[in-house]
Amino acid sequence: NIIFAGEIKDPNLLNEIYKNAKATLILSKVETFSMVVAESLINGTPVFGFKAGGPESISIEQYSFFVDYGDINSLIGKMKDYDYNSVDKNTIRIIARKKFSMDTIAKQYKNLYFDLLSKKWTKYPIFYFLFILNLHASAKQSAREYLDSQPIFSFALSTEA
């Protein structure tokens, strides 16, 4: 059975709903980073839904299943074929908590920044210098300390040549 819970404002209740659900269903047409996918997986619950951009790009492949938007028959097929009894919710939790941890996300941001700098932003030496200075200073801190003590963007980016 599918139960629509409506908007849940209490985070503890939301976690309990995710933990007790057999699956989370995502029916968005377009979505950026999907908090629903992250929250569901962090609570050990597999995800099914339509491809909407964000959800399938952040999901954990072996516990997330997406089909083209509007393809109800394929979605129903995926949900029917899934072996819910073999799900180890604790394994999903461990993988998701590692994937969405502060340290992991901080490393991904740093890699993205370095990638951007190597491609375009080196044309602006002062911004490059300030950025590298920020990263160097943060290398001795944990990701959490760094993000708590620094603005994520400490320099201006310009798309003008």
Q: Look up tokens 């109800």; give the residue.
A: 72
Entry pTM:
0.67
pLDDT in tens, 111-156: 777 776 666 555 555 555 555 555 555 554 544 454 455 544 443 3
The encoded tokens of residue 158 equal 């310009």
pLDDT in tens, 29-83: 998 888 899 999 999 999 999 999 889 988 999 999 999 999 999 999 999 999 9
The encoded tokens of residue 141 equal 């801190």
Q: Look up tokens 């190597």; give the residue.
A: 118
pLDDT in tens, 29-38: 998 888 899 9
